[in-house]
């Protein structure tokens, strides 16, 4: 009997594994800012919070 149903059982196990994986990823989602700052220590990434500082230094240079 198991020999006839092995494909259906394997498919069912795979579907359950995929659902658990999706649920885990939704529940344990990380913040995009944390992800970006973890790359190269955050040195290569400039955020919009730093935009004011860049605008102020550019306006001083043009005067």
**pLDDT by residue (tens digit) across 1-51?**
778 899 999 999 999 999 999 999 999 887 877 777 777 665 656 655 555
| Contact yes or no for 21/35 (Cβ under 8 A) | no
pLDDT for the residue 30: 79
pLDDT for the residue 1: 78
Tell me how many degrees the CA angle 35-40-46 measures, rounded to the nearest 5.
70
pLDDT for the residue 28: 87
Helix (H) and strand (E) counts in the chain: 3, 0
Residue 62 reports pLDDT greater than 70: no
Q: Which single residue is written with the structure tokens 């955050």?
A: 42
Higher pLDDT, 52 or 18: 18
| β strands within the chain, DSSP E | none
Tokens for 38, please give them: 């973890």
pLDDT for the residue 13: 97
């Amino acid at each position: 009997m198991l020999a006839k149903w092995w494909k259906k059982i394997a498919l069912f196990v795979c579907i359950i594994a995929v659902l658990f994986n999706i649920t885990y990823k939704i529940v344990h989602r990380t913040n995009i800012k944390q992800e970006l700052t973890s790359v190269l220590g955050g040195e290569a990434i400039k955020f919009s919070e730093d935009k004011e500082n860049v605008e102020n230094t550019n306006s001083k240079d043009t005067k």
